[in-house]
A and B are shown apart, each in its own frame.
Chain A
Amino acid sequence: NAGVMQNPRHLVRRRGQEARLRCSPMKGHSHVYWYRQLPEEGLKFMVYLQKENIIDESGMPKERFSAEFPKEGPSILRIQQVVRGDSAAYFCASSPPMDNEQFFGPGTRLTVL
């Protein structure tokens, strides 16, 4: 049973470009969460999705950030017009229905030049 998969593992963008981060949950998991980790800091919740639904986006910045989890395919975290402050590690986690346990992917390290 493959774990949570994220790609790309590393992403470099110039200011003003778009970043797309992908996450495939573990098999049988229908809940996906995105977290951001700044250097030397803990993880901060961004958004919680189920298939075709955003359940909680209270941690998402109001502008430039969006997330989706379509019926088919991976969950996507999209950052438009990136700025240097967006440089961070972005982690996706998944969990089965009705379960608190969250399993994390290896992360995408975004660097904005």
Chain B
Amino acid sequence: QQQVKQSPQSLIVQKGGISIINCAYENTAFDYFPWYQQFPGKGPALLIAIRPDVSEKKEGRFTISFNKSAKQFSLHIMDSQPGDSATYFCAASNNAGNMLTFGGGTRLMVKP
């Protein structure tokens, strides 16, 4: 019940295209859903996060869509750039535990 399932495992997008990464969870106690970006040899960097009281959050080219009834959330990267090429992780936590449960990651490559 603690799992967070992420898809696809890898994604290739042309420059200027939209990258879409999906996650699904089972634990209804989760109430905080962040996305992290990780470059090779670096630590994960917090990109954007959402709570279940809103269905969408946008920051620049990054948008999280959240569907509480389906227990799914997704990251959209608009106007994808080669510099966006990285591994993206979704995660979830609840206030009580604070530990993050991570998805398996999506390796994004944006072709010039």
Interface residues of A (CB under 8 A from B): 4, 6, 31, 33, 35, 41-45, 48, 55-56, 58-59, 91, 93, 95, 100-107
| Inter-chain CB contacts under 8 Å: number | 60
How close is B50's CB to chain A, nearest CB, in angstroms? 11
Interface residues of B (CB under 8 A from A): 6, 32, 34, 36, 42-46, 49, 89, 93, 95, 97-105
> Is the pair B100, A101 in contact by a Cβ cutoff of 8 Å?
no
How close is B26's CB to chain A, nearest CB, in angstroms? 16
Which residues from A are CB-within-8-Å of B6?
Answer: 42
Name the residue of chain B whose CB is nearest to the CB of A105.
B43
Q: In the bound complex, what is the Cα–Cα distance between A109 and B108 (angstroms)?
A: 23
Which residues from A are CB-within-8-Å of B97?
Answer: 48, 56
How close is B44's CB to chain A, nearest CB, in angstroms? 5
How close is B17's CB to chain A, nearest CB, in angstroms? 25
> Is the pair B98, A101 in contact by a Cβ cutoff of 8 Å?
no
> Is the pair B98, A31 in contact by a Cβ cutoff of 8 Å?
yes
